[in-house]
């Protein structure tokens, strides 16, 4: 079994952008390393931009960046493949062979945005748990059944570190450098980007409601919107069904089909995730947060929170206090 990557030991990062790669995902990852170096926390951090032929690579926004060939004598500790909207077209046989060769040198591998497609197509994610941008995650899961795709922002599984798109690489890299520099340094690095809260690996991607429920009946979309608008005073299942012009039995069936859980379980998760955000980002009293999220008994709030997140609300706040 591959060894788990020691995050503390990562100092040389390789980035392999594919044609039409996502510039925002690419730069967010690199900027964390630049800022750590700029602030004097880790002068040893460095990064290389790599490609098969060492030429220029053009992003989806039309900007091009220079790259270099992979040098096994000066190999990075990890290489992140950065994809974009045209990742399938950008993943040719030469790219797959190149990635396999890098893996044979014992280099850890990762991905940004849709880069997981290239790793999966090369067989380098077989038996691993990983993530990708929500927009193509379902297709990837169907195409590569030997890979487990998760909805998290980023996933660390042994010697593979995969990340979703947009600004999620910023959070991923902040978590990676935290292992080496500690939370105080990371808080200051994040503040330089006016990034108030560093999301952790268990944070789910914020998939738009329209995308999650594209094939759902209007009644289900109405119910989810009702839930989001009534977090502090949760509505009963019968009330939700009546307001949406449906029945409890129909809602049970639709939620199971589209979200894989019951309506009340989804509602509970929604309220608890709202509570977690308030615990991490505000100084509101625990009882007030519980009440604002529909838990009028502190004991019930604490139990529900522990059942879902495996930590008590008070401990959650202490763990994430800057």
Residue 304's Cβ-side half-sphere holds a number of Cα atoms within 13 Å equal to: 21
Strands 160-163 and 129-130: unpaired
Q: Do residues 112 and 138 share a domain? A: yes
What angle (nearest 5°) sits at the alpha carbon of residue 145, between those of residues 139 and 151?
60
Q: What is the pLDDT of residues 46-105, one digit of tens each?
A: 999 999 999 999 999 999 999 999 999 999 999 999 999 889 999 999 999 999 999 999
Structural domain ending residue among the three candidates 165, 192, 219: 192
DSSP-derived 3-state class of residue 267: helix
If pLDDT is split at 50, 70 and 90, which confidence band does 215 have? Answer: low
Sequential DSSP letters for 53-83:
SS--EEBTTS-EE--B---GGG--SEEEEE-
Retrieve residue 137's tokens: 């995650």
User: Quick one: 245 exposed, middle or buried, by C-beta within 10 A (0-12, 13-18, 19+)?
Assistant: exposed
Structural domain ending residue among the three candidates 192, 218, 250: 192
- Its domain, for residue 215, covers 210-319
CB 197 within 8 A of CB 228: no
Q: Do residues 240 and 299 share a domain? A: yes
Structural domain count, the chain:
2
Most confident stretch, 129-143, 195-209, 225-239: 225-239
CB 222 within 8 A of CB 244: yes
Domain assignment of residue 18, yes or no: yes
Q: Do residues 220 and 132 share a domain? A: no
Domain assignment of residue 203, yes or no: no
Retrieve residue 310's tokens: 């495996």
User: What single DSSP character describes residue 8?
Assistant: G
What are the CA-CA distances from residue 71 to residues 15, 52, 66, 96 (Å)? Answer: 13, 11, 16, 17
Q: Do residues 139 and 15 share a domain? A: yes
Q: Do residues 167 and 223 share a domain? A: no
66 Cβ contact partners less than 8 Å away, ≥ 6 residues apart: 49, 55, 56
pTM above 0.75, yes or no: no
What mean pLDDT is predicted for residues 98-117? 97
Domain assignment of residue 12, yes or no: yes
Give the domain CATH number at 27.
3.40.50.880
Q: Do residues 247 and 188 share a domain? A: no
Q: Do residues 138 and 25 share a domain? A: yes
**What's the chain's length in residues?**
322
Structural domain ending residue among the three candidates 142, 160, 192: 192
Crossing angle, helix 218-229 and helix 248-259, to 10 degrees? 90
Give the domain CATH number at 291.
1.10.10.60
């Amino acid at each position: 079994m591959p060894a788990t990557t020691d995050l503390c030991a990562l100092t040389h990062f390789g980035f392999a952008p594919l044609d039409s790669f996502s510039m925002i995902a690419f730069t967010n990852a690199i900027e964390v390393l630049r800022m750590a170096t700029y602030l004097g926390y880790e002068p040893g951090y460095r990064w290389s931009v790599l490609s098969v032929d060492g030429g220029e690579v053009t992003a989806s926004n039309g900007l091009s960046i220079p790259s270099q060939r992979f040098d096994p004598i000066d190999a990075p500790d990890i290489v992140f493949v950065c994809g974009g909207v045209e990742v399938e077209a950008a993943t040719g046989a030469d790219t797959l062979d190149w990635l396999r060769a890098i893996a044979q040198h014992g280099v850890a591998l990762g991905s940004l945005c849709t880069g997981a497609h290239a790793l999966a197509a090369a067989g380098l994610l077989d038996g691993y748990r990983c993530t990708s941008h929500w927009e193509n995650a379902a297709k990837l899961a169907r195409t590569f059944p030997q890979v487990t795709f998760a909805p998290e922002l980023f996933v660390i599984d042994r010697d593979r570190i995969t990340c979703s798109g947009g600004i999620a690489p910023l959070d991923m890299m902040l978590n990676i450098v935290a292992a080496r520099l500690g939370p105080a340094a990371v808080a200051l690095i994040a503040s330089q980007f006016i990034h108030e809260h560093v999301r952790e690996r268990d944070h789910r991607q914020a998939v738009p409601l329209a995308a999650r429920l594209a094939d759902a009946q209007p009644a289900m979309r109405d119910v989810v919107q009702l839930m989001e608008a009534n977090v502090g005073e949760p509505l009963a299942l019968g009330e939700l069904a009546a307001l949406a012009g449906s029945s409890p039995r129909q809602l049970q069936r639709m939620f199971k089909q589209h979200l894989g859980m019951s309506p009340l379980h989804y509602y509970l998760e929604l309220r608890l995730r709202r509570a977690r955000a308030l615990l991490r980002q505000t100084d509101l009293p625990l009882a007030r947060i519980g009440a604002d999220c529909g838990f009028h008994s502190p004991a019930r709030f604490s139990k529900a929170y522990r059942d879902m997140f495996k930590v008590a609300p008070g401990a959650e706040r202490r763990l994430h206090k800057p």
